[in-house]
Amino acid sequence: MEIVTEKESNYHDLDKMSVGEILYNINKEDQTVADAVAKAIPQLEKLATITAEKMKKGGRLFYIGAGTSGRLGVLDASECPPTFGVPFDWIVGIIAGGDTAIRRAVEFAEDDTEQAWKDLQEFDITEDDVVVGIAASGTTPYVIGGLNTANAHGIVTGCVVCNVGSPVAAEAQYPVEVVVGPEFVSGSTRMKSGTAQKLILNMLSTSVMIQLGRVKGNKMVDMQLTNHKLFSRGINMIMQETGKDHDVATQLLEKYGSVRKAIESVLISH
C-alpha cells in the first residue's frame, strides 16, 4: 500500500513563513478535505445503512482508535446523547490506553493487537453490535486486532482510514477510505486526516440517528435540555412546529420536559 499520510508536505521551509502564509496555506489544504470526503460517500452509505439496521434491532455502535483517531471517536460518541437524547451506551468511543489517553498520550498503547477486544468485552459486545475502527494510517495494530477478532465473532465491522488498501480496511467489512493527501506538517495526521475523520463521523452518526427517528423535520426534538440556551432553543422549536406563542410553548416544555413530547401533546389534542 502507498502510505500517503506519511508523505512529505507539499510545502517547504514552514519555519520561514510568515504567520499569514502559514494560516493561508493550512486553509488552502483544508479546502481539499470536503472533496475527498465526497468521494467516500458511496462507501459511507453502506456503513451507515447497516449500522442503522443493527441499531434498530437493539445493537450499539462502537468506535475504536488510538491517538487523534481514538479521541475523535470518543468525541462523536459523547455528543450523541445530548444531541439526540439517546442512552449513553448506544454509541461508545474506546481509545487505546483508556480515558487517560484522551488528554495525554499513552506510550505504545496502540501497538497491542489484543487490547481492543479486551476493551470491547467490558461492554458485553455481541453480534448485534457494530465496531468501527478509526485510523488515519490504516496500520494501527490496536484497531487491526480489534476488527479481526470482532469479525471472528460475527460482528459487523467498518473503518475510517485515510490511505487506500490498508490493513485496517482489509479487516473491515465496510471500509471508508478518505484520501486527503500529504499533511501541511509532514505526517501530522491530526490535521487534514483528523478533519476528514471528524466529517465522516458527523455524517455517520447523524445519518444513523435520523434513520432511527431521532430528528423531526430538521430539528433535534430529543435533545437533552441541559442549559438555558438549549431550553430556549426547545421553546422556539415548539413554537415553530405548533404555532403556539412563547408563553404556551414554555409551559408545554416545562410540563413535558421534552420537545418531542410537547409537540406531540399539541398534535394529538388536535
- Point out the residues that are catalytic: 79, 110
CA 144, CA 113: separation in Å to the nearest integer? Answer: 7
**Sheet of 61-65, strand order:** 91-95, 61-65, 130-135, 156-161, 174-177
Helix (H) or strand (E) holding 255: helix 246-256
The vertex-168 CA angle with 165 and 174, nearest 5°, equals 85
Q: Are 226 and 73 in contact (CB under 8 A)?
A: no
CA 95, CA 78: separation in Å to the nearest integer? Answer: 13
245 forms beta bridges with: none
Cα Rg of the chain (Å, integer):
21
The vertex-77 CA angle with 253 and 36, nearest 5°, equals 115
Nearest to 176 by CA among 2, 40, 72, 5: 40
CA 126, CA 155: separation in Å to the nearest integer? Answer: 7
Nearest to 139 by CA among 174, 169, 95: 169
Strand, helix or coil at 147? helix
Q: Cell numbers of 258, please?
A: 421534552
134 forms beta bridges with: 65, 160
Number of residues in the chain: 270
Q: Cell numbers of 71, please?
A: 479521541
